């Protein structure tokens, strides 16, 4: 018999006490019907112990008499009556004929937990019937977590299990706040964090004074994450399983730094009003059920799923989100024009699995006319299905005729080369997707080209000035063999870059800071390149850097800046061509163990064999690798007051960037030393870009 067709007839008396077994017994009552002979009713079981949250129990009623029993009414009463219900509903009257049975189920919707006090939940169910001598029938039940320990702080763990039974935030399995000196999860030690990747972050505009709930999942176990809100900083550790945290917003901006792969901030309602993502490796975002009027998702090349329904969005740009496969965006403030623009920004999935976009709940929803006035064909042409959310069926019959404009290059992603004016610069480019618009500018020379997700082959572009900038969604750049024509390269404004070949040039500066997607870097045979910092390049796997101008100190700093590949495939760094190379003694004086400790092999370029054991004893410090480039000294680090900057060559300019990559200060000078006042800086990491007559040096500084 189907449970949903059963009626529930019993009386529940829920005085929650600790009972160890299910009790089953018959209650025999004689019920006099007005027109028939006596009925005898039996209920089995007459007592039951609920031991699980939101569970149900089955019962059988048997009429063992000779007359019909008619149940006229039944209801729950007591302080916790709303925690119980009849599965299948409460349909009265119910007639039970002689020698017949009736099965039913009672649902318990409460949460029991490991321990419940004796004076906890109580309720009862009243059954009224037509009997003159037995108008009510009662059956008692018990709900218990089955534990006899005392739980003083009410966190669900007894004093025998809890390492601090006076604090409800401390119990086995609790979230352990790193570096606070308290063992919240009772594992015997406080959690700690390593250096946070400040180049990957998500910024929320929040309502001050309100609680903000976040769900996070990281690229790897034990990933350090920093959450900054006004003067408050929270350092936590995130793993590969979802964790959820709550914070009271003390300012209107909340920024989450670190290698986060999944980010959930749904159902904060009016407490979140905007969201910006500067994390090109984020794969899953859920910001639904909020008051978000602005969402910046453009350029998130790893994003596959975007849930942004039930917000206040009037527009959404997903250009550059080349991995995107699912968008759930119904019940927003989109106009027909806004949706047409969204369809045009979708990545082209031709030749791949079909993408889904669900811009409305159902055919009867309020925005139906807006949806039908769009041109869904623009999405279909890119192998995207346009669907209803409620049943995943296709939206058909849209009659709009909007045509997607010719695409514009993404001017927020760019690569800057320092070049010899009037020379022909040879470049080979690789884009995120087919038909990607790219603009190359150099002085009075401008080139508008289209690049596919395959290498273009080398093309020449005339340098109209001493800089050349390549704008657009480029993921691969090959500028090899330009020799003295290229002297500097800055790719830090294209953090989605995955492949960079810049060898056999005359580079004296190479900036790859924050390039979290970069996997391959070939920068060898640049004889003026004396330093390289790859901190923040968390995806880096291959680095070829032989025959540059590195000192032993510079190589040690480079080893310390390598990303940790523990638990992943082995990384390769090749700082020397072979055992006969001129820099053999320099390399042998380093401490290659600093690279090996991060699962990097240090090899010869000529035959990919491991170099011998090195003699150096350099130890990586706090995670901030010092780079002695262009004979620049910067100290102390960390710093709280004056920061001393000294160089052999004249220092022309100092640029200071915050953790968001924003330029916050510029100092012009004409001396070989300078004292910078850091008192005006907030606590955190800063990048100092120091321009000298001998090139550019980048220093990562920690302000205490």
Q: What is the pLDDT of residues 586-625, one digit of tens each?
A: 999 999 999 999 999 999 999 999 999 999 988 875 333 3
Please, where in the chain does CATH 2.60.40.1220 lie? 632-703
Mean pLDDT of 134-150: 60
| pLDDT at residue number 629 | 43
Which segments of 227-367 does DSSP mark as H helices, in order?
A: 336-345
Mean pLDDT of 685-694: 78
Which of 238-242, 612-616, 657-661 has the lowest average pLDDT? 657-661
Is residue 396 predicted with pLDDT exceeding 70? yes
Q: 514-533 burial string, b = 16+ CB within 10 Å, else e? A: bbbbbbbbbbbbbebbbbbb
Q: For residues 123 and 106, what is the distance between their CA atoms, to the nearest angstrom?
A: 13
Q: What is the pLDDT of residues 337-392, one digit of tens each?
A: 999 999 999 999 998 999 999 999 999 888 999 999 999 999 999 999 999 999 99
State the DSSP string of 122-159.
--EEEEEES-SS--B---EEEE-----S--TT-SS--T
| pLDDT at residue number 322 | 87
CA distances to 359, 372, 469, 577, 629 from 276, in Å:
21, 30, 25, 44, 34
Domain 3-143: give its CATH architecture: Sandwich (2.60)
Class of domain 414-604: alpha beta
User: What are the tokens at 69?
Assistant: 């029993």
Question: Taking the chain, what is the end-to-end CA distance rounded to the nearest angstrom?
Answer: 70
Q: For residues 486 and 480, what is the distance between their CA atoms, to the nearest angstrom?
A: 9
**Closest to 145 measured CA to CA, from 15, 78, 13, 53:** 53
Q: Which residue do the tokens 């966190």 mark?
A: 155
193 or 91, which is more confident: 91
Return the CATH fold of 632-703.
Immunoglobulin-like (2.60.40)
Q: What is the pLDDT of residues 102-115, one digit of tens each?
A: 777 777 776 554 44
Q: For residues 690 and 656, what is the distance between their CA atoms, to the nearest angstrom?
A: 9
**Closest to 282 measured CA to CA, from 460, 43, 109, 516:** 516
- List strand residue ranges (DSSP E) for 64-147, in order: 69-77, 84-86, 94-96, 101-108, 124-129, 140-143
Q: For residues 25 and 371, what is the distance between their CA atoms, to the nearest angstrom?
A: 62
pTM of the complete model: 0.44
- Percent of the chain's residues with pLDDT above 90: 43
Q: For residues 678 and 422, what is the distance between their CA atoms, to the nearest angstrom?
A: 42
| pLDDT at residue number 463 | 96
State the DSSP string of 591-605.
-THHHHTTTEEEEET
| pLDDT at residue number 130 | 65
Q: For residues 305 and 286, what is the distance between their CA atoms, to the nearest angstrom?
A: 8
Please, where in the chain does CATH 3.80.10 lie? 414-604
User: What are the tokens at 215?
Assistant: 């769900």
| pLDDT at residue number 269 | 94
Q: For residues 436 and 414, what is the distance between their CA atoms, to the nearest angstrom?
A: 14
Q: For residues 348 and 305, what is the distance between their CA atoms, to the nearest angstrom?
A: 15
Q: 566-591 burial string, b = 16+ CB within 10 Å, else e? A: eeeeebbbbbbbeeebebeebbbbbb
**Closest to 212 measured CA to CA, from 257, 273, 125, 166:** 273
Please, where in the chain does CATH 2.60.40.10 lie? 3-143
Q: For residues 171 and 14, what is the distance between their CA atoms, to the nearest angstrom?
A: 29
Band of residue 572 on the pLDDT scale cut at 50, 70, 90: very high
Q: For residues 607 and 605, what is the distance between their CA atoms, to the nearest angstrom?
A: 6
CA distances to 490, 540, 625 from 463, in Å:
16, 30, 35
CA distances to 559, 601, 623 from 562, in Å:
5, 11, 10
- List strand residue ranges (DSSP E) for 491-615, in order: 499-501, 509-511, 520-522, 542-544, 571-576, 600-604
User: What are the tokens at 474?
Assistant: 């480029």
Q: Phi then psi for 510, rounded to 5 degrees?
A: -145, 115
Band of residue 194 on the pLDDT scale cut at 50, 70, 90: low
DSSP 269: B
Q: Which residue do the tokens 């946070």 mark?
A: 196
Is residue 479 predicted with pLDDT exceeding 70? yes
| pLDDT at residue number 116 | 40
DSSP 83: G
């Amino acid at each position: 018999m189907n449970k949903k067709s059963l009626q529930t007839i019993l009386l529940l008396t829920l005085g929650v006490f600790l009972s160890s077994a299910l009790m089953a017994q018959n209650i025999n009552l004689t019920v006099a019907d007005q027109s028939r002979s006596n009925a005898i009713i039996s209920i089995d079981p007459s007592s039951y112990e609920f031991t699980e949250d939101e569970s149900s129990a089955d019962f059988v009623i048997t009429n063992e008499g000779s007359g019909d029993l008619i149940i006229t009414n039944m209801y729950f009463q007591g302080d916790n009556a709303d925690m119980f219900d009849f599965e299948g509903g409460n349909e009265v009257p119910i007639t039970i004929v002689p020698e017949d049975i009736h099965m039913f189920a009672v649902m318990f919707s409460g949460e029991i937990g490991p321990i419940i006090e004796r004076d906890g939940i109580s309720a009862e169910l009243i059954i009224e019937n037509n009997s003159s001598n037995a108008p009510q029938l009662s059956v008692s039940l018990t709900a218990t977590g089955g534990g006899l320990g005392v739980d003083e702080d009410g966190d669900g763990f007894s004093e025998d299990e809890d390492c601090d039974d006076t604090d409800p935030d401390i119990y086995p399995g609790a979230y352990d706040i790193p570096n606070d000196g308290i063992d919240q999860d009772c594992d015997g030690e406080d959690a700690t964090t390593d250096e946070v990747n400040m180049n990957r972050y998500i910024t929320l505009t929040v309502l001050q004074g309100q609680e903000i709930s976040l769900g996070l999942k990281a690229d790897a176990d034990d990933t350090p994450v920093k959450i900054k809100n006004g003067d408050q900083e929270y350092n936590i550790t995130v793993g590969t399983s979802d964790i959820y945290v709550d914070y009271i917003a003390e300012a209107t901006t909340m920024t989450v730094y670190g290698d986060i792969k999944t980010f959930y901030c749904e159902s904060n309602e009016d407490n979140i009003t905007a969201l910006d993502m500067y994390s090109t490796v984020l794969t899953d975002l859920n910001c639904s059920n909020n008051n978000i009027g602005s969402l910046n998702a453009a350029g998130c090349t790893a994003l596959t799923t975007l849930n942004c329904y039930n917000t206040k969005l009037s527009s959404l740009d997903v250009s550059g989100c080349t991995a995107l496969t699912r968008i759930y965006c119904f019940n927003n403030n989109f106009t027909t024009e806004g949706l047409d623009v969204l369809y045009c920004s979708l990545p082209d999935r031709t030749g791949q699995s079909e993408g889904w976009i669900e811009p409305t709940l159902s055919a009867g929803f309020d925005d139906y006319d807006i949806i039908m006035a769009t041109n869904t064909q623009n999405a279909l042409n890119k192998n995207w299905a346009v669907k209803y959310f409620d049943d995943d069926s296709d939206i058909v019959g849209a009659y709009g005729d909007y045509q997607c404009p010719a695409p514009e290059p993404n001017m927020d992603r760019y690569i800057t080369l320092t070049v010899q004016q009037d020379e022909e610069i040879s470049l080979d480019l690789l884009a995120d997707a087919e038909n990607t618009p790219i603009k190359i500018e150099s002085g009075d020379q401008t080139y508008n080209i289209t690049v596919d997700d395959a290498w273009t082959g080398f093309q020449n572009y005339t340098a109209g000035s001493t800089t050349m900038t390549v704008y657009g969604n480029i993921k691969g750049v090959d500028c090899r063999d330009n020799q003295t024509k290229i002297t500097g390269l800055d790719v830090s404004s294209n953090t989605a870059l995955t492949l960079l070949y810049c060898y056999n040039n005359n580079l004296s500066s190479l900036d790859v800071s924050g390039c979290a997607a970069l996997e391959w870097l070939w920068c060898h045979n640049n004889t003026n390149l004396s330093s390289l910092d790859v901190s923040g390049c968390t995806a880096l796997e291959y680095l070829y850097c032989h025959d540059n101008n590195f000192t032993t100190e510079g190589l040690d700093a480079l080893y310390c800046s390598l990303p940790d590949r523990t638990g992943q495939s082995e990384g390769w760094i090749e700082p020397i061509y072979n055992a006969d190379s001129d820099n053999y003694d320099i390399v042998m004086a380093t401490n290659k163990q600093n690279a090996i400790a991060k699962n990097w092999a240090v090899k010869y370029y000529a035959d990919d064999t491991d170099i011998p054991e090195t003699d150096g004893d350099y130890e990586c410090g706090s995670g901030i690798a010092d780079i002695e480039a262009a004979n620049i000294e910067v100290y102390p680090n960390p710093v709280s007051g004056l920061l001393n900057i000294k160089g052999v060559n004249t220092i022309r300019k100092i640029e200071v960037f915050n953790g968001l990559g924003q330029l916050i200060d510029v100092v012009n000078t004409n001396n070989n030393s300078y004292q910078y006042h850091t008192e005006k800086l907030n606590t955190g990491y800063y990048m100092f870009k120091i321009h000298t007559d001998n090139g550019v040096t980048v220093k990562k500084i920690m302000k205490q």
